[in-house]
A and B are shown apart, each in its own frame.
Chain A
Amino acid sequence: MHTMKNQFDVEECLHQLAHYLPAQAPLKDFIHHNTLHSFQEFPFADAITRASDLFGYRVLLDLSTYRQYYLNGRIRHDVLRQVVERRKPAQYERWITAMLNQQFEPAAAPRIGQLRAGWKRYYKADIDAMVHPLLFRSICSYLDQGISIWRFPAQQCSFLKAIRLLEKNGVISFFRQKRARQLLLNGPCDINSLLQLLVGQQEWFTQYLFDQQFAHAGWSGMVAAVAQQPTGLLDQRSISLEELIRFELLLEIDALDELFGAQWPPLSQRLQQPPTALFDPVEASTLDEVLFMWQEAFEWSFYDQVLAGLQQEKPAAHNMPDRSFQALLCMDDRECSLRRYLENTDPACETFGTPGFFGVEFYYRPAHAKFNTKLCPAPVHPRHLIEASDAGPTHQKDAYFSKHAHSFHSGWLITQTLGLWSAFKLFINIFRPSVSPATALSFRHMQQHAHLSIESNGKQLDNLQVGFTIGEMADRVEAVLKSIGLVQHFAPLIYIVGHGASSANNPHYAAYDCGACSGRPGSVNARVFAHMANHQTVRKLLLTRGINIPPATHFIGALHDTTRDEILFYDEADLPAGLTQHHKLHGEVFAKALQLNAVERARRFESIKLQQLPNRIHAQVKRRSVSLFEPRPELNHATNAIAIVGRRQLTRSIFLDRRSFLNSYDYQVDPQGDYLYNILKAVAPVAGGINLEYYFSHTDNQKLGAGTKLPHNVMGLFGVANGIDGDLRPGLPAQMVEVHEPLRLLVVVERDAATVLQVIGRDEQTWEWFHRQWVHLVCIDPQSKALQWFDGNKFIPYTPLSGSIPVAKDLSKLLTKERGNLPVMLLDQNQL
């Protein structure tokens, strides 16, 4: 009777589940990724329709919002026309009418949960209410990293084993009735047999488990993430999705036993109207198509301006005078404006963008620390370790986080002493916010004067090589310098500027740091790179590879705090005597640029008045980073929409409103496209991942984002939930994404189309990103500036619809007036 398809395969099902569940790591390792990664096997348009029908996600904006944008000009008519004509060449009129005027019925209910809704429909039993609270609390207590005082007993065992041990105490049980207890202790309690009891027919097993796990996707996702990456928790646990499901099935059986006694028919017997199978094909409705065309028109209304701007932008004088200094910053969109201000303040300086781990991948171990921290993109597995020592005090204590306040007698004492003092603490925190031991401060990541073990002496620790050999150093320095095209015209001082962020009262602090350093500040990487590039033997090796760094050139590491707009330079004592004066001057340039940057950022914060002196605005920006009551210390990647891979002269005199990732690349240094290959291999998943996480957290902040962060409650130090009985909330909180515009990333590459096509085809995964259009790709010819758009298979010429792009008249004034997104503008050459 059953076809092969209906045979239930536990392994296969668990694998599939782990694939579809949210893949967010514990909070301390928050790393941006495409929220709908599980649908990436489909082209973007199909994928989002499918995701929406299956799981009820909102994947696009409301129809009314698009129409509103159209009326107020944010979606341009000519772009809309172009989109509809391309998608529906034969029926333009029909579709444009539908888009503008037709009324649509709301979409039908999503498929997820329909099968398990049978408990309520046919049995009048709300088993979730009986099962979930204890289930969540058990998982949370087991995984807890340090909130509870009395830890889960038997934490060294795997989850289900620990549960079983506890159950054996014989007095207090997890269960209400005897049967589930018996099953747990004596079996059979494998998934198959338990489902047999609960569901009956095998053909529904997979769907049942999906329904069940998606009723608490946050917890299940966390379990799957920990199972896959146990090192994500410092205090490691052994848990798997399978154990969670078995425990949950037992609790469900127990709940039903409690309600109906030991005899009740399995779900499939009572199923009167079988629900649609979860993974049946999905057909796009008219509304889906209409919405998607609106989205494309929305995207291209912006892209078109950018592309026109890039074409019309006049490169600054090609042969620059002697460079005063050069700075390598992260490709991060947040550094986009800082680079502009550096160049404005000192027109003789030159800036570059590259992923903020500066090509040096390693684990880092702070002095006296008990754990290593990965400082490179998440998928990379480093073989090196950098140790810090001689650092001075590592961390401060705060009695208010002491757990003694929660116990009986010491709590009694503490409330009457510290308790009274906390009124004063609160008072100070509200009227004079300042740094406390609980603030997440970027500069604390590494003590300024810590000694780092950068050079290898053959020592091994934790199976990692401590430090790098000369050859390894040279390889890394060469790769970075060549990929950004910095192989000649070295300035006397070259700054390697990592970035990090600071915030108070913010469980998502890791999401604010550098994504290329696995959600940590980039200070160690900057120092390590600078040290390597200053190394005389390394330079000798580099010389043989065609990079001649003059002896007078010195590299210096630094960290830019993107929240506070402050900078900290490292190893200033090692500066050659002749350069200290220069460095001092450049330091002033940085300080000025940072202040201007803070002012530009401030326009997005409604609570800061913009008609103030810049230093006062900057002070308020800094204050946000330490204020307990500030849910928006900074806005991170909000509004990101483009990534430009090319020389700085392509973007130097165009205003992109901090919306662009900027990765330096010089086609002239890279005849084969090898460096471009490496850049795109990183840009697509990293920038694309950030972009899509913002995208989906914005369109569906309830199901794909974390919702408003104001009621969040920290669970076990690894996640947040609303209230105490809620599901974990992965994704980004509303406060991070509210000003975001959900546009897919447009990658612009300054290179001829033929090479780009050949380069993206080299790697299957990179190709898929572009082929399935999860990110857009356009290349701009370095000489002719002709544009070609990648339609998923081939490049086709693109001519912008926008006329001439306006020149920004008085940018600084505009920035103190307008709080919303600004259009693309050309920068007045005279201002530079």
Chain B
Amino acid sequence: MMEQVLSIFLLIPLLGYACSLVIKPRSENSISLLAAGTVTLQLVSGLVYVAVWLYKGRPMIDHKDIVIYKSAGYEFFLDLHFDSITAVYLLIGALLSTLVTIYSRYYMHREAGYKRFFNTLHFFLLGYMITIFSGNFETLFIGWEILGLASFLLIAFYRDRYLPVKNAVKVFSIYRIGDVGIILAMWMSHHLFAENITFLKLTNNELVHHQLLQHTGVGIFISLMLLLSAAAKSAQLPFTSWLPRAMEGPTPSSAIFYGSLSVHLGLFLMMRTYPLWQHQLSVRLLTAFMGMCTALVATGIARVQSSVKSQIAYASAAQIGIMFVEVAAGWQVLALIHFAGNAFLRTYQLLVSPSVVSYLIREQVYEYEPQQKSIEGYLPQKLQYALYLLCLKEWHLDSWGYKYAWNPLKWAGRQLNFLNLRRVLVFYTIAFSGGLLALRFSSSLPHTARYWWPVLLAFIGLLMVLKSFTERKKARMSWTLVAMNHTWIALAIAFNESVSVHQIAMYLSGVLVSWAIGFACLRRLKQLEGTVNLDQFHGYSWEHPKIAFVFLLACLGMAGFPISPTFIGEDLVFTHIHEDQPWLAGLTALSLIIDGLAIIRIYARIFLGPHAKSVYEMGYRNS
């Protein structure tokens, strides 16, 4: 009974979201009442459920919900899980979103995009609930992806300004790294446990311990990938600098996403998978070390911040760092209390942040003391100045991302500038036919060739998507290259004998349909506007919101957004990469990261940002 009821917690936000999509955009009242109703219902059901659950002695609950796809040796199913971690995240999430929804009901009054705001809020909540109720990695990943997209949409809420869009793309890129961490962790755990393991089974100490003893390296790999994802999501080092930059949306959305809920989900991931890594001392030490470093560095940066929201963001990241230490030390209960306190505190602080002017100025009138020294004032001057400057420059965290990740990608892509659409097509046709041919005769290839051939194909796919990512002019070519990348990956995987044609077809059908829809959108836009290039933000959603929306859907399909065939395909593809094929897995993962970036870049450059043709209606770039 307790098991079946669990689905309700996903159905409520799902229904709420579905209804919010079809509601009339003009009717503020019904939009916000629906949102408030949904979250309140979720909160009340949560309270009742938790009460019953407590009464029954806090059993750990697992419920296999729906099998989405099944074939020999592979089963993709949604699984729900409930324990004290879920309970805490549920109650805090539901309570905060109820409060913030009611708050926004008035706050957002008359704002353009009122409906869009609440839609996205629903969507976010859905992702949050799926994540915290997830009983296996697949389910968790679905929620994870929804959260990423919802974040992108909310940071870019003011989509006709430059900075929100730029920062949304930035945050999305970092989330994408986290996503791939989970994909890789999933991939390895398939091999480790030879199934889609549920979190419940992970608590089976014997089983886990037994497997890990035999495959120490694999275990560490999985844990590290999880840690990577968690660090990206929870703004831990070296990713911390995205957190303050995410504060571009309306204040309540910043409060709930980046002050409280979203940013604590990395911590959730670590707690959820704790049984898997609790016996790996090295991972625990690394987690604690990372948390401690984040806490120290972020505290320093928070202390020099002169804008109220960035100060709260860094202070929050520092506390989350401490929570990572707590989890690594095995103090889960403490970490949960700490999470609750931090979530409430930061939400509240962000919501009242505009008051800081009247409050502090008033305080200053009465209590001002010239030349007040903080503790750092007692350091030797040289050290003090160096440290101050380092904190002011955020320990270069933001520029490092560009310098060591973004720019090399751009550089690599630029080396492919000689490619134009025709050359690409010619090359594609020839090379792909070659690949197919090789596939036909793969059984007669020598072993080494069989091992490296798919790697080569995956590498070509990577080049395609690199080119796509750095293309400055032709949007349609960039789009097509992304689709081609998928076919290369499919081809590479096809060399592994166990893949059925059916599975490949499923994967590529998603890609093909998305590609066709997206291509049609771009064509239509080109007819209307003359040229469509990727050199700058164009902000066409200002003029063509419908095309923008359809194209966004195509992007989701292409990027393997959950429940699209591409997504299941991607997951399938990964299960077919053998554990002794790290090169193939690595290249494919890298492809998928850049693939996501390339897609979101196309969408952002074409449809978001200041509308290029309405200079007089738009703000300056820095506004």
Binds A, one of B282-290, B347-355, B463-471, B554-562: B347-355
Say yes or no: A629 contacts B616, CB within 8 Å. no
Instruction: Tell me if B131 counts as interface (CB < 8 A to partner A).
Output: no
Contacts of A141 in B (CB 8 A): 304, 306, 392
Say yes or no: B361 contacts A426, CB within 8 Å. no
Say yes or no: A147 contacts B617, CB within 8 Å. no
Instruction: Tell me if A627 counts as interface (CB < 8 A to partner B).
Output: yes
Say yes or no: B99 contacts A430, CB within 8 Å. yes
Say yes or no: A28 contacts B361, CB within 8 Å. yes
Say yes or no: B249 contacts A711, CB within 8 Å. yes
Instruction: Tell me if B613 counts as interface (CB < 8 A to partner A).
Output: yes
B438 to chain A, nearest CB (A): 40
Say yes or no: A415 contacts B345, CB within 8 Å. yes
What's the Cα separation between A397 and B449 when bound, in Å? 73
Partner of B311, one of A147, A215, A437: A147
Say yes or no: B371 contacts A156, CB within 8 Å. yes
Say yes or no: A713 contacts B348, CB within 8 Å. no
Say yes or no: A505 contacts B355, CB within 8 Å. yes
Known: A607-B109, A724-B244. A422 touches B619 (CB 8 A): no
Contacts of A27 in B (CB 8 A): 357
Which chain A residue shows the least CB distance to B92?
A: A423
Q: What 0/1 pattern do residues 375 to 414 of B give for CB contact below 8 A with A?
A: 0100001111111111111000010000000000000000
Contacts of A28 in B (CB 8 A): 357, 361
Say yes or no: B617 contacts A702, CB within 8 Å. yes
B158 to chain A, nearest CB (A): 6
Q: What 0/1 pattern do residues 88 to 123 of B give for CB contact below 8 A with A?
A: 000000011001001111111111000000000000
What's the Cα separation between A504 and B357 when bound, in Å? 11
Contacts of A411 in B (CB 8 A): 299, 315, 318-319
Say yes or no: B307 contacts A406, CB within 8 Å. no
Contacts of B376 in A (CB 8 A): 150
What's the Cα separation between A709 and B109 when bound, in Å? 12
Query: Quick one: which of A23-50 are within 8 Å of B by CB?
Result: 27-28
Most buried by A among B244, B306, B384, B398: B306
Say yes or no: B393 contacts A726, CB within 8 Å. no
What's the Cα separation between A715 and B307 when bound, in Å? 4
Q: What does DSSP make chain B's interface, helix, strand, loop or mixed? A: helix
Say yes or no: A401 contacts B623, CB within 8 Å. no
Say yes or no: A405 contacts B345, CB within 8 Å. yes
Say yes or no: A723 contacts B248, CB within 8 Å. yes
Say yes or no: B356 contacts A714, CB within 8 Å. yes
Instruction: Tell me if A811 counts as interface (CB < 8 A to partner B).
Output: no
Contacts of B304 in A (CB 8 A): 141, 148-150
Say yes or no: B109 contacts A166, CB within 8 Å. no
What's the Cα separation between A146 and B312 when bound, in Å? 14
Say yes or no: B344 contacts A422, CB within 8 Å. yes
Q: What 0/1 pattern do residues 378 to 419 of A give for CB contact below 8 A with B?
A: 000000000000000011011011000111100110111111
Instruction: Tell me if A342 counts as interface (CB < 8 A to partner B).
Output: no
Contacts of B12 in A (CB 8 A): none
Which chain B residue shows the least CB distance to A427?
A: B99
A134 to chain B, nearest CB (A): 7
Contacts of B158 in A (CB 8 A): 708, 711, 722
Instruction: Tell me if A725 counts as interface (CB < 8 A to partner B).
Output: yes
Contacts of B358 in A (CB 8 A): 438-440, 506-507, 509
Most buried by A among B347, B353, B360, B623: B623
What's the Cα separation between A715 and B305 when bound, in Å? 9
Partner of B315, one of A405, A505, A703: A405
Query: Quick one: which of B295-332 are within 8 Å of A by CB?
Result: 295-296, 299-300, 302-315, 318-319, 322
Contacts of A138 in B (CB 8 A): 392
Contacts of B310 in A (CB 8 A): 713, 724
Contacts of A439 in B (CB 8 A): 355, 358
Say yes or no: A423 contacts B344, CB within 8 Å. yes
Instruction: Tell me if B167 counts as interface (CB < 8 A to partner A).
Output: yes
Known: A132-B622, A423-B344, A628-B352. A710 touches B374 (CB 8 A): no
Binds B, one of A103-111, A484-492, A674-682: A103-111
Instruction: Tell me if B362 counts as interface (CB < 8 A to partner A).
Output: yes
A22 to chain B, nearest CB (A): 12
Known: A58-B617, A405-B349, A505-B352. A417 touches B341 (CB 8 A): yes
Say yes or no: A408 contacts B318, CB within 8 Å. yes
Known: A134-B393, A148-B304, A415-B319. A401 touches B356 (CB 8 A): yes
A395 to chain B, nearest CB (A): 5
Say yes or no: B315 contacts A507, CB within 8 Å. no
Instruction: Tell me if B7 counts as interface (CB < 8 A to partner A).
Output: no
Q: What 0/1 pattern do residues 156 to 167 of B give for CB contact below 8 A with A?
A: 011001011001
Say yes or no: A711 contacts B359, CB within 8 Å. no
A403 to chain B, nearest CB (A): 8
Interface residues on B, range: 35 or more
What's the Cα separation between A110 and B488 when bound, in Å? 47
Partner of B348, one of A215, A368, A422: A422
Instruction: Tell me if B60 counts as interface (CB < 8 A to partner A).
Output: no
What's the Cα separation between A627 and B618 when bound, in Å? 31
Instruction: Tell me if B366 counts as interface (CB < 8 A to partner A).
Output: yes
Say yes or no: A416 contacts B386, CB within 8 Å. no
Known: A147-B306, A406-B311, A713-B308. A722 touches B366 (CB 8 A): no
Known: A509-B357, A607-B109, A727-B623. A406 touches B99 (CB 8 A): no
Instruction: Tell me if B615 counts as interface (CB < 8 A to partner A).
Output: yes
Contacts of B351 in A (CB 8 A): 426, 505, 628-629
Which chain B residue shows the least CB distance to A440?
A: B358
Known: A147-B308, A703-B623. A725 touches B245 (CB 8 A): yes
Say yes or no: A710 contacts B111, CB within 8 Å. yes
Say yes or no: B360 contacts A401, CB within 8 Å. yes
Instruction: Tell me if B27 counts as interface (CB < 8 A to partner A).
Output: no
Contacts of B620 in A (CB 8 A): 214-215, 217, 702-703, 727
Most buried by A among B249, B357, B623: B357
Contacts of A716 in B (CB 8 A): 306-307
What's the Cα separation between A724 and B108 when bound, in Å? 21
Say yes or no: B385 contacts A166, CB within 8 Å. yes
Instruction: Tell me if B591 counts as interface (CB < 8 A to partner A).
Output: no
What's the Cα separation between A703 and B244 when bound, in Å? 24
A215 to chain B, nearest CB (A): 7
Say yes or no: A137 contacts B306, CB within 8 Å. yes
What's the Cα separation between A729 and B623 when bound, in Å? 7
Say yes or no: B340 contacts A420, CB within 8 Å. yes
Say yes or no: B359 contacts A398, CB within 8 Å. yes
Contacts of A133 in B (CB 8 A): 398
Which chain B residue shows the least CB distance to A720?
A: B354
Partner of A727, one of B102, B303, B622: B622
Which chain A residue shows the least CB distance to B29?
A: A607
Known: A58-B616, A173-B389, A412-B319. A147 touches B345 (CB 8 A): no
Instruction: Tell me if A97 counts as interface (CB < 8 A to partner B).
Output: no
16 A/B residue pairs, CB under 8 Å, sorted by A: A128-B621, A128-B622, A168-B385, A169-B381, A234-B368, A371-B364, A406-B314, A416-B337, A438-B358, A506-B354, A628-B103, A628-B355, A713-B309, A722-B248, A723-B245, A727-B623
Top 7 A-B pairs, shortest CB-CB distance = A419-B341, A419-B345, A702-B619, A169-B385, A438-B355, A727-B622, A144-B306
Query: B residues near A, CB below 8 A?
Result: 95-96, 99, 102-111, 157-158, 161, 163-164, 167, 244-245, 247-252, 254, 295-296, 299-300, 302-315, 318-319, 322, 337-338, 340-345, 347-349, 351-368, 370-372, 374, 376, 381-393, 398, 613-623
Further 12 A-B residue pairs, CB within 8 A, beyond A150-B374, A423-B95? A148-B311, A151-B374, A166-B388, A406-B303, A407-B303, A412-B338, A438-B359, A506-B354, A507-B358, A606-B110, A713-B310, A723-B164
Query: A residues near B, CB below 8 A?
Result: 27-28, 52, 56-58, 106-107, 109-110, 128, 132-134, 137-138, 140-141, 143-153, 155-156, 165-166, 168-174, 214-218, 234-235, 366, 368-371, 373, 394-395, 397-398, 400-401, 405-408, 411-412, 414-423, 425-427, 430, 437-440, 504-507, 509, 606-607, 627-632, 700, 702-703, 707-717, 721-727, 729, 735, 738
